[in-house]
């Protein structure tokens, strides 16, 4: 561990066994579990969706947010959020990620974004609105994080699940929970 913040973040981070946030535009989870592993076996670390994601983020000197672990592609919001550009769906050779969903602007995430009140700085009366600021820059006036007064942030229904707030939160209080 590099510093105390990372140590305490690791200790306080809630453990979610077996949950992996899947890439956007996947409404049929059966197709994902059935065919995504075949792509990984065929292309190894350079599956078409991961490769195109890397290309998009390399333009900004960042690494892509699609990663591979346990023979599955998952999304990692620690470095950046999803641009919801739809390139991963267009690159998917098995149509596991549905290109039609990109036109409808429906990412079909397998998670919901939540704020952990135990680790959130604002819930502990520390003036912090980093999540609200980043959300405002993404969604504009339709921001998905609202505060009650100066404290107590809440994720609103209009959250698009882009994940920009996750990496920006200094306390790592914004988490993903499996959608039922």
Closest by CA position to 160, among listed 148, 147, 146, 145: 145
Chain position carrying tokens 């980043």: 134
Asked if 18 and 82 count as a contact pair (C-beta separation under 8 A), the reply is no
For the domain made up of 113-178, give the CATH fold: Alpha-Beta Plaits (3.30.70)
Q: Domain boundaries in the chain? A: 22-103, 113-178
4 has a pLDDT exceeding 80 = no
16 has a pLDDT exceeding 60 = no
Number of residues in the chain: 180
Using CA atoms, how far apart are residues 95 and 110, in angstroms rounded to an integer? 17
103 has a pLDDT exceeding 80 = yes
| pLDDT in the model for residue 87 | 94
Asked if 110 and 22 count as a contact pair (C-beta separation under 8 A), the reply is yes
10 has a pLDDT exceeding 80 = no
Average pLDDT (148-172) is: 92
Task: pLDDT band for 25, please (50, 70, 90 cuts).
Answer: very high
| pLDDT in the model for residue 1 | 43
């Amino acid at each position: 561990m590099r510093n105390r913040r990372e140590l305490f973040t690791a200790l306080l981070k809630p453990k979610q066994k077996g949950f992996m946030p899947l890439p956007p535009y996947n409404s049929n989870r059966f197709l994902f579990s059935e065919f995504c592993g075949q792509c990984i076996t065929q292309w190894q670390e350079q599956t078409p969706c991961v490769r195109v994601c890397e290309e998009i983020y390399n333009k900004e000197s960042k690494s892509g947010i699609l990663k591979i672990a346990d023979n599955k592609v998952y999304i990692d919001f620690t470095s950046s959020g999803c641009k919801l550009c739809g390139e991963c769906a267009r690159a998917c050779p098995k149509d596991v990620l549905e290109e039609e969903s990109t036109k409808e602007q429906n990412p079909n995430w397998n998670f919901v974004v939540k704020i952990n009140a135990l680790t959130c700085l604002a819930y502990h009366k520390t003036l912090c609105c980093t999540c609200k600021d980043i959300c405002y820059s993404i969604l504009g006036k339709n921001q998905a994080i609202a505060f009650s007064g100066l404290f107590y942030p809440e994720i609103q229904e209009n959250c698009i699940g882009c994940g920009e707030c996750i990496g920006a939160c200094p306390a790592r209080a914004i988490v993903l929970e499996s959608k039922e």
